[in-house]
Amino acid sequence: MVTSSSPAVLKRWIALELRRLRKEARLTQKDAANRIGRSQQHIGYLESARNLPSVGDLELLLGLYGTPERNDFMRELLTAARKGKNWWANLSDAVPDGFEFFLGLEVGAAELSSFDPLLVNGLLQTRSYAEAVIGGDTDITTEEIQRRAELRMGRQRILDRVEDPVRLWTVMDESVLHRKRGDSTVMREQLAHLLEMSERPRIDIQVLTLDAGAHTAQQGGYFTVMKFPPDMVGDPGVVYQEVISAGLFVENPEEIALYERALARVRSLAATTEESRRIIGRVMKEV
């Protein structure tokens, strides 16, 4: 049964399944390509989620891999991937270059864990705070700022899903609470929102205090580890790291493990969720 409506997640799921089944059949990409009369590059595109397979290719590959019983399920995935719609379609002009893939993965994620050393996590930002942050780019218009802020607010729907809202765990540097974005009213509203959101059962907010000391995550800046539903068997997840010019995606399991260890270290150094609420409350009174 298909449990995700995100085309990006479904496309990636199909790619992971085809790669996994091929490896279990002990075939190389070249072997698979030769057996179904395709190029090795074609198989590579299918397994990297660049392209979706045709129904014919899917049937041939599943037969080759000795798993014809997977045909109905995989065809269901294929149909859903092609029919799925992105919630941000009417805001496509506000999506930065290269960010659409992240949006597709985010909306289909089951768990998001992030380290936020400079800004409040986008999923926890108020609209006023978001506008102040986005407005730091002096090359965009007021209308563009509003459209991008609307896009950011739309992303937060995953926190309010009736069924299986995303599990969010963020560690933010204490400096984020003091770094002014907008005026004092904007900052008080943002801090109050953090306190409110921290009460939700599926949201954990930890503050990494200024005296926490050195840690490995400081070498990578902002990053998010994305995990997907358990029915995506064998999926190691994805790490997204944001830089000025683009977003970087890490999908190698060994590299993902490095980020997960860095997050675990930061979590152990950070204040507990209860202590973090007290810190946020104290800062809010000082603003």
Distance CA 2, CA 77 (A): 6
Residue 156 sits in the same domain as residue 39: no
Residue where the block lists tokens 């190691």: 236
42-71 per-position pLDDT tens digit:
999 999 889 999 999 999 999 999 999 999
* pLDDT computed for residue 138 by the predictor: 87
Structure tokens at 207: 């503050």
| Residue 31 vs residues 150, 180, 247, 287: alpha-carbon distances, Å | 48, 58, 34, 64
**Beta-carbon neighbour count of residue 77 at 10 Å?**
19
Q: 154 or 83: which carries more pLDDT confidence?
A: 154
Sequence-ordered list of residues with C-beta below 8 angstroms from that of 224, at least 6 positions apart, any chain: 112, 113, 114, 239, 240, 241
* pLDDT computed for residue 83 by the predictor: 87
- 3-class DSSP assignment, residue 203: strand
**Type and span of the H or E element at 149:** helix 142-155
Distance CA 166, CA 200 (A): 11
- 3-class DSSP assignment, residue 140: coil
- Confidence category of residue 199, pLDDT binned at 50, 70, 90: very high
Per-residue pLDDT, averaged over 234-249, amounts to 85
Residue 146 sits in the same domain as residue 28: no
Asked whether residue 268 is domain-assigned, the answer is yes
Of 83, 115, 143, at which residue does a domain stop?
83
Residue 272 sits in the same domain as residue 197: yes
Sequence-ordered list of residues with C-beta below 8 angstroms from that of 255, at least 6 positions apart, any chain: 239
- 3-class DSSP assignment, residue 239: strand
For position 47, which CATH number holds?
Answer: 1.10.260.40
Asked whether residue 2 is domain-assigned, the answer is no
Asked whether residue 110 is domain-assigned, the answer is yes
Structure tokens at 253: 């399991």
Of 32, 58, 83, at which residue does a domain stop?
83
Asked whether residue 36 is domain-assigned, the answer is yes
| Residue 163 vs residues 3, 10, 184, 203: alpha-carbon distances, Å | 11, 18, 36, 15
**Beta-carbon neighbour count of residue 64 at 10 Å?**
17
Residue 106 sits in the same domain as residue 219: yes
- The beta strand positions in the chain, using DSSP E, are 111-116, 167-173, 203-208, 223-227, 238-242, 247-250
Of 83, 115, 150, at which residue does a domain stop?
83
| Nearest Cα residue to 11 out of 71, 112, 84, 61 | 84
Asked whether residue 1 is domain-assigned, the answer is no
pTM of the complete model: 0.87
Structure tokens at 179: 């770094």
Residue 60 sits in the same domain as residue 182: no
Adjacent-strand bridge partners of 169: 113, 204
Number of domains the chain is built from: 2
* pLDDT computed for residue 219 by the predictor: 64
Residue 73 sits in the same domain as residue 171: no
204-225 per-position pLDDT tens digit:
999 999 988 766 656 667 899 9
Residue 109 sits in the same domain as residue 240: yes
Task: Report phi then psi at 196, rounded to 5.
Answer: -65, -45
Domain, as residue range, for 36: 7-83
Torsion sign, CA atoms 125, 131, 132, 136: positive
Interstrand relation of 111-116 and 223-227 (parallel, antiparallel or unpaired): antiparallel
pLDDT over threshold 90, residue 285: yes
